[in-house]
Structure 1
């Protein structure tokens, strides 16, 4: 019998001291996780610089991302998504402090050129 369905939006914590990461699925070349933010941001001066591609989708809440080399930050609302290719330096500038921001993140190997 298959497992009971899970809901990415329930249960949601109201306030967390740190972001909450929950693995949804893991395979040798794929990882899917739910991230819940309650007002967290990247530490000052910290940039993510990952060796894998990451596709993110905001399911609830709101966030602001800064991508190195871009003139303006990107504001994300429910339904907004983007691909961060491997080695794209980025940081979370802000997440909504008044309601949980729920992200779905898919990590996979970078696209090989040629």
Structure 2
């Protein structure tokens, strides 16, 4: 499982004569989709705690900053506009969030279809 990242605010076309559409992520799932807002104020995952969800998760930092560790040894530092895709069972933890201001996240969870 490999996490992918991007920035919603990077490479924004300026003075385009028409709207520009860009697919960021697409899931081929017929299951449940859940979108949530998360507000963190300096919180982090407890030492040794790892999320291991059965859902795919796509998170976007709207404001503030955070660092997300993945159990493959990578750490993703995220600021406003940065996003991270965590496939199902990609173990991860929040290493830190901004203590000086709220970190506002947009999270989209996609559950597989029930069989």
Q: Structure 1: give runs of 5+ residues left out of the alignment.
A: 1-27
Alignment length, in residue pairs? 83
Which stretches of structure 1, 4 residues or more, deviate above 6 A after TM superposition? none
Is the CA contact (8 Å cut-off) linking 2:71 and 2:91 kept in structure 1? yes
Normalized against structure 1, the TM-score is what? 0.69
Match of 1:49 among 52, 71, 82: 52
- CA change 1:86–1:54 in 2 (3 A) is same
The answer to whether structure 1 residue 64 and structure 2 residue 67 are counterparts is yes
Provide the residue aligned with 1:99 in structure 2: 101
Give the TM-score normalised by structure 2: 0.69
Unaligned runs of 5+ in 2: 1-30
1:78-103 Cα distance to aligned partner (Å, 9 max, x none): 00001100000000000000100000
User: Larger relative contact order (C-alpha < 8 A, sep ≥ 6)?
Assistant: 2
Over aligned residues, Cα RMSD in angstroms?
A: 1.5
Deviations along 1:15-42, one digit per CA (max 9) or x if unpaired, are xxxxxxxxxxxxx701100000000000
